Amino acid sequence: MYIEKFNIKKSKPKIIIFSGAGISAPSGISTFRDKDGLWENHKIDEVCNEGTWKNNFKIVHDFYNERRNQLENVEPNIAHKVVSDIIYKYGEDNVINITQNVDNLFERANVTNTLHVHGELTKMQCENCGHQWNIGNKSFDIKKDKCPNCDSVKNVRPKIVFFGGSAPMYKYMSRAFEYASLENSIVVVIGTMGNVVPIDAYLKDKKAKKILCNMEKSKYINEKNYDNVYYESITTVIDKIEKNIEKYWTN
């Protein structure tokens, strides 16, 4: 992870791409929360709660094992690939890619530097010793698998930010959005309703050009704060967004 990029140099504008579930939904990955409050027929509090995950140990691991296994059956869509192209075109030093998503579709689209603010599904972590490791698309078997560093089992969890838990990557996200204060910066917001990460609060009164793409309007996002607004699938509008970036980028 490229933490050094977030040592802010205010003199140099950036292209900041911030995405939520809407960028991965066209690939077949379910959005985080359905209208009935369930996630893949599970209660959020059962499978994504900092205070209860150990009590629901088997349910939690079964749930995330299934999510991890499903990654084998999905592919990056055109939006992930265009983000990769944008980074290649404008240079890694000029583009910051931030996502709320825990999938690895950006990585599979050759986007090597992505800030996952809510964790990474393909990684595990041990609360006993702090060790983290890649598990890929494999399941974690609670009967035989353990932390490779300290042999703990009951303290092993997916590297996911649960509700009520700390989100250490938020400080780097906040630093990244400081670049939006620069007039020549560009912020692209894709597929997020703004209720988990209050994106409007981060971008309020910022000088950067702002582009929004969501499937529908959200009460948490004021479209008047954006220079370009699209309410449609990212897969159908990504070429327009790319052209907007080309028009606005003056470096």
What residues are labeled active site? 118
Residue 245 C-alpha from the chain's centroid:
20
Q: Which residues contact 106 (CB under 8 A, 6 or more apart)?
A: 76, 80, 83, 84, 97, 99, 114
Instruction: Let me know: does 179 contact 15? Beta carbons within 8 Å.
Output: no
Compute, in degrees rounded to 10, the torsion defined by CA atoms 229, 39, 55, 170.
-10
Distance (Å, whole) CA 209 – CA 202: 14
**What is the radius of gyration, based on Cα positions, of the chain?**
18
End-to-end CA distance of the chain: 25
Strands of the sheet containing 156-160, edge to edge, are 132-134, 119-126, 156-160
Instruction: Let me know: does 21 contact 192? Beta carbons within 8 Å.
Output: yes
Distance (Å, whole) CA 208 – CA 190: 16
Distance (Å, whole) CA 130 – CA 126: 5
DSSP conformation class of 68: H
